[in-house]
Amino acid sequence: MSRRWWLVIAAAGFVLLLLAAVLIWRALPLERAAALNPGQMRLASATVLDDERPLPAFALVRDGGSFTNSDLSGRWTLLFFGYTFCPDICPTALYLLKELRSTLTGRAVALPQVVMISVDPRDDPATLSRYASAFDASFIGATADDAGLAPLVKHLGVYYLRHDREGKADYVVDHSAAIYLIDPRGRLKAVFPAPQTLPAMLQDYQALVS
């Protein structure tokens, strides 16, 4: 056999070995991905931030009490900003988060605390609590005026705009649709951009909190 054919065979063998290595890597279980540092994780949709700074001090109001930084301590939290009059984004996101918690129940992973933060002054704490808990009894609804929301909104880069011109009460609110993952030390860990899907969030959440 000529030298040329030996070179062709050697090159083909190298390509096959490289392809096999790629296939093996892609077949690694999620547990392997979770063991890597955040920059190496193979995530489906989440953006990992690993902000070393804790969230700024904030004080929101919930039905029967307050919701502050201390309520983030020792648990993983998913934050979502919206309002109860929202026709589409908010109910869709809350249903997704309900399904996420339901699917994670019984697995060897920490269940997230889910908090909906309203950016609409029409949402009083009692109404907000009923709305959030209608999706899952564990869901928390919290709110504040613009000044009270400002620390979190600025830190997380949340956007909202009320179209309440002419004093009408039936206005809509444009708002960010991202979901924010806060770690047990009260720091921003990752952001799930919209639109979210259950399979992608399940994969990424388990990898991030493991």
As a whole number of angstroms, the distance between CA 146 and CA 70 comes to: 21
User: Where residue 52 falls among pLDDT bands split at 50, 70, 90?
Assistant: confident
* pLDDT 10s digits, 141-166: 999 999 999 999 999 999 999 998 77
Residue 111: partners with Cβ closer than 8 Å, 6 or more residues away: 76, 101, 104, 105
Q: Which of 201, 79, 190, 195 is nearest to 141 (CA)?
A: 79
Instruction: Quickly state the pLDDT bin for 80 (edges 50, 70, 90).
Output: very high
* End-to-end CA, the chain: 54
Q: Which residues have a Cβ under 8 Å from the Cβ of 71 and sit 6 or more positions away?
A: 113
Would the pLDDT of 36 be above 60? no
